[in-house]
Amino acid sequence: MTMSPWCKSALALALLLGAAAAPSRSEAQTVTLKFSQFLGPTSFFQRDVVAPWAKELEARTAGKARVEFYDGTSRLGKVTEQASQVMAGSVDIALGLRGAEGDRFPASSIIELPFVVPSAAVGSRALWTLAQEGPLADDYKDYKLLALFVHNPGLIHTTSRRVVVLADIKGLRLRAPNKTVAEALEQIGAVPAVLQVDDVMPAVRAGKLDGIVTNWGNPLPGFNDLMKIHTEVPFYTSAFFIVMNRARYEGLPADVRHAIDAISGAVWVAKFGAYWDEWDAPVRAGANAPGHEIIVPDATAMAGWKAGLKPVTERYLTALSARVPDARAAYAKLIAMTGGGN
């Protein structure tokens, strides 16, 4: 059958329009990953952690992989739901706070005990190592684990009462960031309240708290305006995670997975020591202002803190062992790596 000139023209036009409408090979393969975190759009997490990682991923994949950001002001920014959102597939990647997730990642809570972590660099490396080699691995088995990290030691900050020795903390109403710290505070006579970031300073202003147990590099607005006495006892640290939906990761093109692997894991974890030192600096400097006092307990007082908090650690490990049989072995390995403990 001979095709008429009109039919040939129509076919050519149809092929041309079809080619124009079809996505190019590169467009069809573009990957968009949803990444959430619980602080604001201008926070240090967004500025220094999430955004640079996303930029590097895009560069390594020549634009094939791109990241959409969801921060604490978005519907996906709740601090209590970061890991659960990843599990559900609402987001692909999330940066979250372990202590805000209830009983999730229980084995990792051992790093939050008193006197365990001397610095963010040492603690982050130890937490990551334990999650790769053994006792903490089960915490993250349902995820693609991209990074773990902790902040520099959390201290005791009060509005007016001087806290030098352990007995000075009795009766103080103190914000605790998680159940681990709350249990420690309660055991030594304080009155803890577990509050998330947005609720802390309003509680202080309302007179419901006498102080806050937190690190220097915190995102609490007006912190140095109200916290005047700072006691440098390494009371705890907080564990943070960056996890990815495992099925989403495994379904990505190989080159995108390789790019994610290249900029995550130990490489990413190693950056957090310097990050926290930088984030701590302005808040720590603000505590040198008139009206502030920074208390550094001497060796005798510090020994008293350690002795008083040791039973707290023992009780916590005993309780945790009911859920995590290797809790004590994990703690021993952790202490060997950090040089901490009481």
154-237+280-338: CATH topology: D-Maltodextrin-Binding Protein; domain 2 (3.40.190)
Q: What is the pLDDT of residues 127-164, one digit of tens each?
A: 999 999 778 999 999 999 999 999 999 999 999 999 99
Instruction: Give CATH for domain 27-151+238-278.
Output: 3.40.190.170
Partners of residue 211 on adjacent β-strands? 158, 174
Q: Which amino acid is at 83?
A: A
Q: What is the pLDDT of residues 67-95, one digit of tens each?
A: 999 999 999 999 999 999 999 999 999 99
Q: Evaluate if residue 199 carries a pLDDT over 50.
A: yes
Q: Show me where the domains of the chain are located.
A: 27-151+238-278, 154-237+280-338
Give per-residue burial for 134-170: e unless 16+ CB within 10 Å, then b.
ebbeebbeebbbbbbbbbbbbbbbbeeeebbbbebbe
Distance CA 237, CA 160 (A): 23
- Note whether 27-151+238-278 and 154-237+280-338 share their fold: yes
Using an 8 Å Cβ cutoff, are 330 and 109 in contact? no
In the structure, what pLDDT confidence band is assigned to residue 330 with cuts at 50, 70 and 90?
very high
Mean pLDDT within 332-341:
94
